[in-house]
A = this chain, B = another copy of it.
Amino acid sequence: MLSMEFQLTQTEENYLKSIYSLEISNSKNVSTTMLAKKMKTKASSVTDMIKKLADKDLVDYEKYKGVSLTNLGKTNAVKIVRKHRLWEVFLVNKLDYNWDEVHEIAEQLEHIKSISLIDRLDKYLEFPTHDPHGDPIPDKDGNIEHHKNVMLSSIQIGDSCVVIGVKDSSSSFLKFLDNSNIRLGSAIKINSIEDFDNSMNIESNNISFSISNQISKNLFVKKS
């Protein structure tokens, strides 16, 4: 059983969260430079912090080889993800925020320290399984269902699918989706694909229009 006598600082929590998300999308060790870009800081700062995290057994680190989360590090990262996503649900479902407005506020709320708070919030929200962007919410014990990562861009001509999540949660992307009436649960049919730029002609809500490859690579879908 892994124990934790110490409190993580907000900065440490942010590093763990970033490493976690980079590990998921990259599978191999997370490099100093990648982490620096994600954290909007300098590589040298990252090196310093990584050493601190390694001292606390939150990451495995070997000089010049990048980092990966230990079990303890992953446990902590998932806790923060859980908090972030539950707060996003709160903001959208209870305070009527739009899905493009909640990320920044949740970035702050995810660091609130309280043993009971997040489980009470979970109950209050009636145990949601996904956040407003379709990302799965880890349960109390840290179990999390992972996306099968089927992107709209990999769907064949003539096939239909349903939007189940977004990869990019930036405000600009989400606003584009709003304007196109694409939301979680939207049904999409692929009418054709341009050889030139892989842009897709799709049909959604009985309207046909074209979306760029950049867009279709950022939409998680389930075939239907």
What residues of chain A have their CB less than 8 Å away from a CB belonging to chain B?
91, 94-97, 104-105, 108-109, 112-114, 116-117, 120-121, 124
Contact = CB atoms under 8 A, between A and B. Distances in A.
A60 B116 CA distance: 40
B96 A105 contact: no
B120 A114 contact: no
Interface of A is mostly: helix
A113 B108 contact: yes
A108 B118 CA distance: 14
Contact of A95 (B95, B105, B108, B117): B117
A95 B87 CA distance: 13
Contact of A112 (B94, B108, B117, B124): B108
Contacts of A104: 114
A124 B105 contact: no
A150 B15 CA distance: 51
A108 B112 CA distance: 6
B121 A95 contact: yes
A23 B124 CA distance: 38
Q: What 9 A-B pairs have minimum CB-CB distances, sorted nearest first?
A: A95-B120, A108-B112, A105-B114, A95-B124, A105-B117, A94-B124, A109-B112, A108-B113, A95-B121
Given A105-B114, A105-B117, 11 more contacts: A91-B117, A95-B117, A95-B120, A95-B121, A96-B120, A97-B120, A104-B114, A108-B113, A108-B114, A109-B109, A109-B112
Nearest to A97: B120
A108 B115 CA distance: 13
Contacts of A105: 112, 114, 117
18 contacts: A91-B117, A94-B124, A95-B117, A95-B120, A95-B121, A95-B124, A96-B120, A97-B116, A97-B120, A104-B114, A105-B112, A105-B114, A105-B117, A108-B112, A108-B113, A108-B114, A109-B109, A109-B112
